[in-house]
Structure 1
Amino acid sequence: MLKEIQVYFSLEFLNSIFVKTCNLKDFYRFIIANFKKLSFGWVLTFLSSFGQTFLISLYVPEIIKSFSISEGTFGAIYAGCTVTASVIMLSLGHNVDHKPAKTVTAFSITGLAIASILLGFSYHFAVLILAIIMLRLFGQGLLTHISMTLISKIFDKNRGKALSFSSLGFSIGEAILPILITTIISFYNWRIAAICSGVLLLFYLIKLKFTNLDHFDEQLISIKGNSTKKMVRNYKEIIFNRKFGIIMPAVFAVSFINTAVFFYQYIFVEEKQWSVTLYASFFTAYAITRLVFSLFGGVWVDKYTAKKLFRFYLIPLNIGLLPFAFMDSILGALAFLILAGITTGISGTVKTAIIAEIYGTKNLGAIRSIFTMFMVISTALGPLLVGLLIDNNFSVSTILLCLSILLILVVFNSQRIGKIEK
């Protein structure tokens, strides 16, 4: 009964906000008019799920058993592989600026398919490490990067709505794929599940062969001589620029905190002696909130600009950490999940739109690859650092308070965005 009441009021509340702030008919017309382009972005974010932590984590218990390693050892391996993938990402991300969309997409899909199949056949430790690096590189890294970059380039006036629709692939992947993968694992084993994932990706290549993506290639820029080396030299200039110092901490913080908290959420819940089953049911509210606010984010970016939203979108997550840390009632966890869903939903659009607004779209692939690299690194460092705090007997309240203080500093830093011109 509690779950039904929770879902009902969540839906009613979010629906009332959406009706007041968004023109549903305009959004619907925009989607219908541009469905071919938007669906391509949506599919890529959906398929990126095969390299995301939430899906890879389903294999972890069996991988640990198969290789006779501890959870801590695998955590360190996973962090190392993720960081390695992020560094490689920096050398590949710029290709979306000057190579046809079909070429870079086929390359990434093929790499992710091979990675999934390698994971299924990873009887040697070296193969396991290679598979994880490739999963993180081609899945979380390149497919997400290609989708967000191409959509940002082709849409200007309605960039926010376009990005928000494309980012729904993340939510759908989180809803569908864990059920599919766990079902295959329960009937067969984790290796078969990984191989099936790779085969599914290869089937998409057949569809891609007959998909016309020429409309994404209109803004390609030519590459001459050693322009790649020049771009690498320019990375230092970009990183030490004031713009980067304002935008990067916010991009880093969302992934860092979300990954860290969700990675250890059940440890936190058990320490507070809350019902794990009831907490798990609260994820319905999180999923609904994230899904709806990913649409809000798109509409608001088009209406108010990403620069204005950038100053405030981290605040709900920051507020949500406090009841999770200090409330004795499990309703504190529900408050966190709803508020985290707001920030996470909006961030999917804002993080890419702000880069396009500030830096322009000409070299968006190269510039965004730098941000993607640091974002991927944050997903490795979050669980690693929080895990060290747990190992050193820091309480849940202390850990979450530290994360909240960190986020407050980032929010203050984000206020400087108003002084930055494109």
Structure 2
Amino acid sequence: MKTLHLKDFYKFIITNFRKLSFGWILTFLSSFGQTFLISLYVPEIIKAFSISEGTFGAIYAGCTVTASIIMLTVGHTVDHKPAKTVTAFSITGLAIATILLGFSYYFIPLIIAIIMLRLFGQGLLTHISMTLISKIFDKNRGKALSFSSLGFSIGEAILPILITTIIAFYNWRVAAIGSGALLLLYLVKLKFTNLKHFDDKLISIKGNTTKKLVNNYKEIIFNKKFGILMPAVFAVSFINTAVFFYQYIFVEQKEWSATLYASFFTAYAITRLVFSLFGGVWVDKYTAKKLFRFYLIPLNIGLLPFAFMDSIIGALAFLILAGITTGISGTVKTAIIAEVYGTENLGAIRSIFTMFMVISTALGPLIVGFLIDHDFSVSHILLILSIILCIVVFNSQRINRI
């Protein structure tokens, strides 16, 4: 049965490759604004500006929160502006951000660059990709989203090697400026790309649909649906960012081999990629509502061996189980919003979820860093995160009531 589903998946990709590849390239390019790539510049930025890790962490958190707030004001545009327009705007903004980062010799340009990286990269490019793909595909939304989300995995596999190589042979400023040049090159391709098929479901901002939602975000946030969906969306980004941000500190405290631990990331990448694909098939077969109740459980289980096992196999177990949840979540988080709220105003509604998701990536490292500074052990920190995730999983069971 699984083979049949994967065969259908392959046929679906071949048939719709032109549309799906657009979603894939946007998630790939969003890497330039994601924490995993920005973190490669951090040691050099700290040296260049003579600041501490804590100071930069605070700056990064502040910039991320600022970007998330701005995201709320512009995320709805994907509902009523042509796909090419919003994409060109976001790619241009991200290109300017990376180039500005390379030319930042003072704090103000650095802060502006980081805000723009988080807004246009992690925020808007991901948002545009997931929203447009959700709107144009209904019956096969899960497969479409899972294929588009593969851009994240490919970015994680390729870009860190490319960026670190440029930094090693030249410097971090050349790497940042070169990234901006690459993004500008994509704008040339975008000019000759036909995206009219994504504009069929545009709605007028003059009506009482998207505009009403933009002016009444408070109603959405205090709705029962939001209270069920948001904690799960928030938790994955919060816990993943917090753990991965301090993973080598945890490994050091456990007295494990950092080199061996780093090699385990291959297992994480493979698991995430495989379950990104399976997640799409399962969403189409069982619906996102059913998967939503259970997809956080592997990550929750994975925190326990990482916390309490003396062997580094505990870290491998965590990475594999985290890969399962992270892979599935890329599809489930967007598909569940489309199933619960519909797709007409998906850009406006999803921008709220994206805002909180981005905020979670800022709060995770801050809170865990606070616990580390107050001498909490690795085991206690990971146990706290597991308890939080248990509460979120129980809350997710309420999805059947809406």
TM-score, normalised relative to structure 1: 0.94
Q: What's 2:294 paired with?
A: 312
Residue 216 of structure 2: SS of its match in structure 1?
helix
CA deviation profile, 1:325-377 (whole Å, cap 9, x unmatched)? 01111111111000000000000000000000000000000000000000000
| 1:22 CA drift (Å) | 5.6
Q: What's 1:200 paired with?
A: 182
Counterpart mapping for 1:22-421 below 5 A: 23-224=5-206, 230-420=212-402
- Give the distance between the partners of 2:208 and 2:400, measured in 1 at CA: 36
| 1:396 CA drift (Å) | 0.3
Counterpart contact for 1:145–1:372, Cα < 8 Å: yes
- Give the distance between the partners of 2:254 and 2:145, measured in 1 at CA: 38
| 1:21 CA drift (Å) | 6.4
Amino acid at match of 2:113: A
Residue 94 of structure 1: SS of its match in structure 2?
helix
Unaligned runs of 5+ in 1: 1-18
Amino acid at match of 1:331: I
- Give the distance between the partners of 1:85 and 1:368, measured in 2 at CA: 15
| 1:185 CA drift (Å) | 0.8
CA deviation profile, 1:28-77 (whole Å, cap 9, x unmatched)? 11000000000000000000000000000000000000000000000000
Counterpart contact for 2:241–2:361, Cα < 8 Å: yes
CA deviation profile, 1:292-329 (whole Å, cap 9, x unmatched)? 00001000000000000000000000000001001111
| 1:230 CA drift (Å) | 3.5
- Give the distance between the partners of 1:413 and 1:383, measured in 2 at CA: 24
Residue 93 of structure 1: SS of its match in structure 2?
helix
| 1:24 CA drift (Å) | 2.3
Counterpart contact for 1:42–1:167, Cα < 8 Å: yes
Residue 167 of structure 1: SS of its match in structure 2?
helix
In the alignment of these two chains, the number of paired residues is 402
Amino acid at match of 2:260: L
- Give the distance between the partners of 1:313 and 1:182, measured in 2 at CA: 33
- Give the distance between the partners of 2:16 and 2:226, measured in 1 at CA: 32
| 1:223 CA drift (Å) | 1.4
Amino acid at match of 1:66: A
Amino acid at match of 2:216: N
- Give the distance between the partners of 2:145 and 2:220, measured in 1 at CA: 24
Residue 193 of structure 2: SS of its match in structure 1?
coil
Q: Segments of 4+ in structure 1 off by > 4 A? A: 225-229
Q: CA distance change for structure 1 residues 412 and 191 in 2, over 3 Å: closer, same or farther?
A: same
Q: CA distance change for structure 1 residues 379 and 21 in 2, over 3 Å: closer, same or farther?
A: farther
| 1:419 CA drift (Å) | 1.0
Amino acid at match of 2:235: A
- Give the distance between the partners of 2:90 and 2:208, measured in 1 at CA: 23
- Give the distance between the partners of 1:386 and 1:329, measured in 2 at CA: 23
Unaligned runs of 5+ in 2: none
Amino acid at match of 1:411: V
CA deviation profile, 1:5-44 (whole Å, cap 9, x unmatched)? xxxxxxxxxxxxxx74662221111000000000000000
- Give the distance between the partners of 2:65 and 2:3, measured in 1 at CA: 40
- Give the distance between the partners of 2:98 and 2:282, measured in 1 at CA: 37
CA deviation profile, 1:201-237 (whole Å, cap 9, x unmatched)? 0000000000000000000001118977643331000
The CA RMSD over aligned residues, in Å, is: 1.1
Amino acid at match of 2:82: P
Counterpart contact for 1:22–1:299, Cα < 8 Å: no
- Give the distance between the partners of 2:323 and 2:253, measured in 1 at CA: 23
Amino acid at match of 2:215: R
Q: What's 1:13 paired with?
A: none
Question: Once the two structures are aligned, what percentage of the paired residues are identical?
Answer: 88
Q: CA distance change for structure 1 residues 55 and 22 in 2, over 3 Å: closer, same or farther?
A: farther
| 1:187 CA drift (Å) | 1.0
Q: CA distance change for structure 1 residues 227 and 252 in 2, over 3 Å: closer, same or farther?
A: same
- Give the distance between the partners of 1:195 and 1:82, measured in 2 at CA: 21
